[in-house]
Amino acid sequence: MFELQFASISEFLQMGEYTFNVWSVYVLFAVFIFINLYYPLLRRKKILKEQKRRQLLQEQAPTREATIDQSKSELASSYGENL
Amino acid sequence: MWPWLQQLGSPRWFYELTGRWLPWLVASMAVLLTVGIVMALLFVPADYQQGNTIRIMYVHVPLASISLAFFPLMAVAGIVTLVWRMKLADMVAKTAAPLGAWFTALALASGSIWGSDIWGAWWVWDGRLTSMLLQLFLLIGVISLRSALEDSDGAARACAVLSIVGCINVFVIKYSVDWWNTLHQPASPINMSSEGPNGPEIWVPLLIMLLAVALFMVVSLILSTRNEILQRERRSQWVRNLLQQT
């Protein structure tokens, strides 16, 4: 029932007189499949990376706030001295 | 509402369940796609009138048929969003629209390339072609509407309404070849025996490709919806725990 329809690879690549028609459709199809599998995976990596960065910043937040408070008080006292 | 239905609406449950299913879905999709494409390119006999362009059918028909599933999917998701306010339903609706646009655009492109030599025209204002083009514009409309309303609750509701309206066009697409006798041919009968035309050597690869492309739609939707879940639920504890494990 299922027989190989082409005698050689060059015949297969030529597809009779319809080389462009058949191959452009299959190439477009392959590109479409690839993009719609690859792009979600890429976006997932970006989301996870962004989340990790945010989480790291939040963990550092107490120490960062203390540093900011210290700089603020130093600035305020130096301003007071110049008055 | 029934407890199992409420569980269905939980993004975390969906994320964990699809995480388990995904390897199987991807594997079966890969196998079916490979087998289908190999059969379509190497084993399907050339048509007596259309020659080797008949092989385009094995890409064009699955893409076009399955592109019709997107508006009903978005409409159901939209109704669930409107009535039960399930966030997950809106996430699915959001990710379905761009994928549907890809499917429709590729169905149009593959059909156009097929018709360029066989019909002698890249485009005609045939009933089915025109309604498929309308479906593409409607899907682009849904995408634009969501981004214009900045992905808010209002956007979810507006897109739900547009998706329900867009389902009317699906009927037009499906029955256009019966209602109008313009150019695109109606459905063809199939033959169960190998004697005569349209035997199993023609329709078995088509069935395989239909299943393969359907699986691809499911896989791609699941991948995108999982991303949407990670993004929208990023402040919840289970997502934070997930990140600590990766």
B98 or A64, greater pLDDT: B98
Comparing alpha-carbon positions, the chain A residue that sits nearest to B53 is A22
Question: Measured between CA atoms, how close is A71 to chain B, in angstroms?
Answer: 31
Residues of B in contact with A44 (CB under 8 A): 223, 226-227, 230
Task: Please answer yes or no on whether A33 and B216 come within 8 Å at the CB atom.
Answer: yes
**Which of B46, B85, B72 has the alpha carbon at shortest distance from B166?**
B72
Closest to B243 (Cβ–Cβ): which among A18, A22, A51? A51
Under 8 Å CB-to-CB from B94, ≥6 apart: which residues?
B146, B151, B156, B159, B228
pTM tops 0.80, yes or no: yes
Q: Is B39 on the interface with A (CB under 8 A)?
A: yes
Task: Please answer yes or no on whether B231 and A4 come within 8 Å at the CB atom.
Answer: no
What is the number of structural domains in chain B?
1
Residue B135 maps to a domain: yes
Tell me: pLDDT of B163 over 90.
yes
Residue B175 maps to a domain: yes
Tell me: pLDDT of B5 over 70.
no
Residue A55 maps to a domain: yes
pLDDT, tens digit, 9 for 90 and up, residues A8-30: 888 888 888 888 999 999 999 99
Residue A11 maps to a domain: no
Residue A36 maps to a domain: yes
Residue A8 maps to a domain: no
Comparing alpha-carbon positions, the chain B residue that sits nearest to A41 is B223
Find tokens 């066009």 and name the residue. Answer: B169
Q: At what angle do helices B153-179 and B127-148 cross, to 10 degrees?
A: 180
Residue B130 maps to a domain: yes
Q: What is the DSSP letter of B151?
A: T
Task: Please answer yes or no on whether A41 and B44 come within 8 Å at the CB atom.
Answer: no
pLDDT for B1 equals: 55
Interface mutation vs chain B, best among A17, A28, A51, most B CBs within 10 Å: A51
Residues of B in contact with A24 (CB under 8 A): 113
H or E element: which one contains B25? helix B11-38
Tell me: pLDDT of B159 over 90.
yes
Task: Please answer yes or no on whether B44 and A5 come within 8 Å at the CB atom.
Answer: yes
Whole-number Å distance between alpha carbons of B228 and B222? 10
Task: Please answer yes or no on whether B110 and A29 come within 8 Å at the CB atom.
Answer: yes
Residue B113 maps to a domain: yes
Q: What is the DSSP letter of B234?
A: T
What is B160-182 written as a DSSP string? HHHHHHHHHHHHHHHHHHHH--S
pLDDT for B94 equals: 95
What is A24-83 written as a DSSP string? HHHHHHHHHHHHHHHHHHHHHHHHHHHHHHHHHHHHHHHHHHHHHHHHHHHHHHHHHHH-
Residue A12 maps to a domain: no
Rank A68-82, B113-127, B129-143, B192-206 by mean pLDDT and report only the highest. B129-143
Residue A3 maps to a domain: no
Q: Give the total residue count for chain B.
A: 246
**Please, are residues B180 and B110 in contact by the beta-carbon 8 Å criterion?**
no
pLDDT for A1 equals: 67
Reported ipTM exceeds the 0.85 cut: yes
Q: What is the mean pLDDT of residues A56-79?
A: 79
User: Where in the sequence is the domain holding B77, given as residue range(s)?
Assistant: 50-184+196-245
Residues of B in contact with A48 (CB under 8 A): 230, 243, 246
What is the number of structural domains in chain A?
1
User: Where in the sequence is the domain holding A76, given as residue range(s)?
Assistant: 17-82
